[in-house]
Chain A
Amino acid sequence: MSKKKPNLDNMKTNDLKGFEEVLDLVGLDPRANSKKLNDGQIEDYEIYDFLEKENLRLEKIDRFFSTQMPLEKKYSQTKNLIKKEIGEVNLIKDELTLKLMNPQSEFQLFMAELYKKAFN
């Protein structure tokens, strides 16, 4: 069974000088284990990666059109929510108008004060 050799940089190799034989580091090239990919290999993976991403993108679009959109069309709640909101807005407008029409309301008092200041 081959023994896995450690990957040492220049500084560590200098520190271990004189102990190479004991530590079984003879003939070890510090760059032997470096797994640098050349440009050609990176380009290969670029196309593969692009196709994988593209498939993922298309799967998502397909799911959107085949699953999500039919459900959305069938059970859309927007129209009901709009109706509900219109009802609530009308209700709150009525309440507010009633409240502001009260002679003791803040709005009426303010207007009275304004008239007083303007015409006295």
Chain B
Amino acid sequence: MQKIEIEVFTEEALAKVFQKNHVGDCPTLISIVTPKGSSWSESALSLERTCKAMNIDPRFPYPTYLLNPMNIATTQYFPTLATPGDAPAHFKKKIKRLKNREQVLLVKTVTLSDRIKNHSVPETWAYLKEKSFMNKTLRNLCHEKAFYQDIFAESAQKSEKRKVDHE
């Protein structure tokens, strides 16, 4: 996983940094060095705008994390990490010269990641968010139904008991 520190947040400068560091093609951790007269959230918004303009998804195929040690509220466009150590262990690897057999695997990896980029990831992400909301609604309705069924069963049980007592 590569870590990049960004100090200038103009769209052109960000585009250059993203292209130079292949953001979106490998797991990246972005540390925001807040410029004077600007807030952290504004800088994060500039990053988000540039990512959208460059069609980079912050989650697929490779994650682009924002380092957010103060846990500042963001638009939730980027996944955030409190410390670099929180990054998934899967992506922490030493940089090494690859052998032939590893090169073959790497070519396959690049092809697969390009295929993922061709899918409409933001659209699917929005659909999944909507779906999760609907699933929660369905869960609440099921709970409500179970609650009424319990009352029904309890009431029937008590009526039965009362009948037996009268007899």
Contacts and interface: CB of A to CB of B under 8 A. Distances in A.
A48 B96 CA distance: 11
Given A78-B131, A105-B159, A92 B149 contact: yes
Contacts, number: 90
A43 B96 contact: yes
A29 interface: no
Contacts of B90: 50, 53-54, 57
A106 B159 contact: yes
Interface in B48-73: 60-61
B145 A62 contact: no
Interface of A: 43-44, 46-48, 50-55, 57-59, 61-62, 65-66, 69, 72-73, 76, 78-79, 81-82, 85-86, 88-89, 92-93, 95-96, 99-100, 105-107
- Indicate the size class of the contact surface on chain B: 35 or more
B124 interface: yes
A65 B59 CA distance: 13
Given A78-B131, A81-B138, A92-B149, A46 B93 contact: yes
Interface of B: 60-61, 90, 93-94, 96, 98-99, 101-102, 105-106, 108-109, 112-113, 115-116, 119, 121, 124, 127, 131, 134-135, 137-138, 141-142, 144-145, 148-149, 151-152, 155, 158-159, 162
Given A50-B93, A89-B141, A58 B116 contact: yes
A44 B99 contact: yes
A18 to B, nearest CB: 49
Contact of B108 (A43, A55, A89): A55
